Amino acid sequence: MKRIDLIRHLEAMGCRLLRDRGKHSVYTNPANNQTSAVPRHREINDFLARKICRDLGINEP
């Protein structure tokens, strides 16, 4: 999955960027106060994309 597609999905589900440093961007879900790191690679493994969504408590893309 492309990183930009995952980020669009996260933002559509209500997640917000918490900080953007180093090799990862950290997103948070204000509804349940959970966070997850998104790596800065062009391609993100589908398994990792599902894990990020589960960590944030949202539907999988």
- What pLDDT sits at residue 60? 92
- What pLDDT sits at residue 61? 87
Look up the pTM and report it: 0.93
Angle between helices 46-56 and 3-12 (to 10 degrees): 20
Residue 52's alpha-carbon distances to 28, 60, in angstroms, are 11, 9
- What pLDDT sits at residue 10? 97
Residue 33 has pLDDT above 90, yes or no: yes
